[in-house]
């Protein structure tokens, strides 16, 4: 296209000028939700504005497929040798020399370990814990890799407040909302006994997996499910949720369901604490693997 054609489309508001040489044409994947589109848009502005650069920090986590990042992403990149460049529009150019990187959809992206080391010190606790959980859950980093990222973050501004967070990461969390729910309970001194509790039928088939569970002194169990917006919004999903809840309901089970918003704010922790106090529950060691059998309910 000629420069004039581009200028005319921008003048007619068909395209949005993001920064020099970068335009948003408005074309997007219809299957991607609004917030994921906005995250990906923010992550891609940097390498478009600085061809050949490497995406770093939180934008790199987005492009690596890690969940739990903030809804608004500030573009950032680095030049491989760490040389300086003047930032352009919303893009920050960091002087971070990188000897390694991944290529994702044709874009140079910091490795997951490096991106975590760069991003976690600049994130709030809820987002930081969520991205670490997500990286572990998707197998993009292991416990040893997370420890290396923590060590690599040592010289970054803001890392001092994050040291406790790295040890709280748990790859069993299947969504950021589950991470936030677990964090809220930990902060109130009621850590779940089991994450992703398996419920099996008489023949050993897994019929349900419950997000958070507490084993009660009388042999019962408190089950807490966190309803993510996407995972539980379709008619088929709602029907399955209702069927599963009916399956689990018994005199020995206490079932509670909470929204992602309640997980984010931590509002679910206090009512869970009240239930646990009424039963005499106390934190105690539990086996690494706990299975709940339907016939025992």
214-265 pLDDT, tens per residue? 999 999 999 999 986 544 344 444 434 666 676 787 778 899 999 999 999 9
Same domain, 189 and 150: no
Amino acid 14: pLDDT = 92
Under the banding of pLDDT at 50, 70 and 90, the label for residue 86 is confident
Same domain, 139 and 200: no
Same domain, 202 and 166: no
Q: What share of the chain has pLDDT > 70, as a percent?
A: 93
Domain that holds residue 158: 3-170
Where does a domain end: 170, 194, 215?
170
pLDDT digits (tens, 9 = 90+) for 172-227: 999 999 999 999 999 999 999 999 999 888 888 888 889 999 999 999 999 999 98
Cα separations in angstroms, 187 against 160, 183, 256, 270:
19, 6, 19, 11
Same domain, 214 and 69: no
Q: Which stretch of 18-32, 53-67, 172-186 has the lowest confidence by average pLDDT?
A: 18-32
Give start and end residues of each alpha helix (H) in the chain. Answer: 3-11, 34-49, 57-63, 112-119, 125-137, 143-152, 163-168, 176-187, 235-248, 260-265, 269-279
- Three-point CA angle 4, 9, 15, nearest 5°: 130
Same domain, 145 and 26: yes
Amino acid 240: pLDDT = 44
Where does a domain end: 120, 136, 170?
170
Split into its structural domains, the chain has a count of 2
**pTM to 2 decimal places:** 0.89
Same domain, 166 and 194: no
Under the banding of pLDDT at 50, 70 and 90, the label for residue 295 is confident
Kindly report the average pLDDT of the chain as a whole number. 90
pLDDT digits (tens, 9 = 90+) for 104-119: 999 999 999 999 999 9
Mapped onto helix, strand or coil, the DSSP state of residue 104 is strand
Q: Is the model's pLDDT at 50 over the cut of 50? A: yes
* Structure-block tokens of residue 180: 């936030």
Q: Residue 215: which residues within 8 A CB-CB, separation 6 or more?
A: 193, 194, 221, 281, 286, 290
Same domain, 130 and 71: yes
Q: Is the model's pLDDT at 153 over the cut of 90? A: yes
Q: Is the model's pLDDT at 121 over the cut of 80? A: yes
Same domain, 94 and 41: yes
Whether 131 and 69 have beta carbons less than 8 Å apart is answered as yes
Q: Give mean pLDDT, residues 52-75.
A: 96
Same domain, 90 and 112: yes
Pairing of β 92-94 and β 206-215: unpaired
């Amino acid at each position: 296209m000629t420069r004039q054609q581009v200028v005319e489309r921008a003048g007619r508001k068909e395209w949005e000028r993001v920064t020099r040489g970068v335009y948003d044409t408005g074309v997007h994947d219809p299957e991607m939700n609004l917030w994921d589109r906005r995250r990906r848009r923010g992550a891609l502005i940097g390498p478009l504005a600085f061809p050949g650069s490497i995406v770093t920090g939180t934008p790199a986590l987005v492009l690596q497929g890690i969940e739990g990042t903030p809804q608004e992403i500030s573009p950032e990149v680095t030049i491989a040798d760490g040389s300086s460049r003047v930032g352009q529009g919303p893009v920050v150019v960091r002087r971070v020399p990188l000897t390694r990187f991944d290529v994702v959809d044709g874009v140079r992206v910091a490795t997951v370990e490096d991106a975590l080391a760069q991003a976690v010190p600049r994130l709030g606790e809820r987002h930081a814990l969520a991205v670490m959980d997500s990286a572990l859950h998707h197998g993009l980093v292991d416990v040893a890799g997370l420890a290396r990222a923590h060590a690599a973050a040592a010289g970054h501004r803001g890392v001092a407040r994050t040291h406790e967070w790295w040890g709280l990461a748990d790859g069993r969390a299947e969504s950021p909302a589950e991470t936030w729910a677990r964090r809220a309970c930990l902060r109130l001194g009621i850590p779940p006994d089991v994450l992703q509790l398996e419920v099996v039928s008489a023949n050993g088939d897994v019929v349900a997996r419950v997000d958070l569970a507490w084993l009660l002194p009388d042999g019962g169990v408190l089950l807490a499910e966190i309803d993510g917006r996407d995972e539980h919004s379709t008619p088929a999903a709602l029907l399955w949720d209702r069927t599963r809840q009916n399956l689990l309901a018994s005199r020995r089970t206490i079932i509670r369901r909470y929204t992602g918003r309640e997980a984010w704010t931590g509002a679910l922790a206090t009512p869970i604490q009240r239930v646990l106090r009424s039963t005499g529950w106390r934190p105690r060691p539990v086996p690494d693997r706990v299975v709940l059998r339907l016939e025992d309910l």
